[in-house]
């Protein structure tokens, strides 16, 4: 996953894929990539996801807001 810029996760939860995205797999995502979870949370190891450095999470959230929410809605215009 080191060449991927955006990772979309859209998977139904089964007994075989619970916690499938482990800390090891999440660490393969490039630091400047986006991780978008659109499925049930059980497919991700949430402790590992929450263990991402705050800077990585902050950058992802800031860029998402900047790109998806207009400045007018945020009262910045």
C-beta separation of 32 from 38 below 8 A: no
More confident residue, 55 or 34: 34
Band (53; pLDDT cuts 50, 70, 90)? low
Question: What is the overall mean pLDDT for the chain?
Answer: 73
32-51 residue pLDDT tens: 777 888 877 788 887 887 77
Has residue 26 got a pLDDT over 60? yes
Provide the pLDDT for residue 51: 76
């Amino acid at each position: 996953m080191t060449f991927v810029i955006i990772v979309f996760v859209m998977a139904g939860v089964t007994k075989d894929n619970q916690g499938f995205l482990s800390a090891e797999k999440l660490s393969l995502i490039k630091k400047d990539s986006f991780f978008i979870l659109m499925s049930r949370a059980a497919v991700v190891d949430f402790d590992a996801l929450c263990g991402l450095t705050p800077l990585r999470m902050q950058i992802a959230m800031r860029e998402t807001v900047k790109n998806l929410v207009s400045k007018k809605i945020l009262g910045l215009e």
